[in-house]
Amino acid sequence: MATLKYSRQRESIKEFLMTRKDHPTADVVYENMKRIYPNISLGTVYRNLSLLADIGEIRKLPSFGGVDHFDGRIEQHSHFMCNKCCKVIDMESENLDHLLEDAGKDFNGEISDYSVRFFGICEDCLKTENN
Ligand SMILES: [Zn+2]
Ligand SMILES: [Zn+2]
């Protein structure tokens, strides 16, 4: 694999994602990067996000609720999206590794990864509903 040229913008994008737990979209990353690099374009941000995801430094959650979200947390974990406020939350207490085994039973290829998405109403929205 060719060594990537160091890019300060790409480093900043990665650092920004590491500080966020809310799985921002490219637009949100762009808005925040513009404060540091006023001339940065959405295209540059998007390209760097895709690149970082390709080399495994971040995770891309493609088309989650119709739009790509990005995650600075790269170890295996699942996500929940609220149908009301569209926020994407990490699911902590679960072990879905059996999914890999089950999926592999009648499958002759090689499975290396999986991604699970849960949908429903988040805690905050439930509270507002019940008030
Ligand atoms: Zn919600
Ligand atoms: Zn996540």
Q: What is the pLDDT of residues 100-129, one digit of tens each?
A: 888 888 899 988 877 889 999 999 999 998
Full DSSP string of 36-104: H-TT--HHHHHHHHHHHHHTTSSEEEEEETTEEEEES--SS-EEEEETTT--EEEE-S---HHHHHHHH
CATH architecture of the domain with residue range 1-72: Orthogonal Bundle (1.10)
**Per-residue pLDDT tens over the stretch 42-65:** 999 999 999 999 999 999 999 988
Measure the CA–CA gap between 1 and 35, rounded to whole angstroms: 33
**Per-residue pLDDT tens over the stretch 74-90:** 988 899 999 999 999 99
pLDDT at 75: 86
CA of 79 to the centre of ligand 2 (A): 6
As a whole number, the mean pLDDT across the chain is: 90
For residue 57, what are the CA distances in angstroms to 32, 35, 45, 71, 128?
19, 23, 15, 9, 36
Q: Ligand nearest 76 Cα, by number?
A: 2
CATH architecture of the domain with residue range 76-131: 2-Layer Sandwich (3.30)
Q: For the residues 11-34, what does the mean pLDDT come to?
A: 96
CA of 62 to the centre of ligand 1 (A): 20
- Residue extent(s) of CATH 1.10.10.10 domains in the chain: 1-72
- Residue extent(s) of CATH 3.30.1490.190 domains in the chain: 76-131
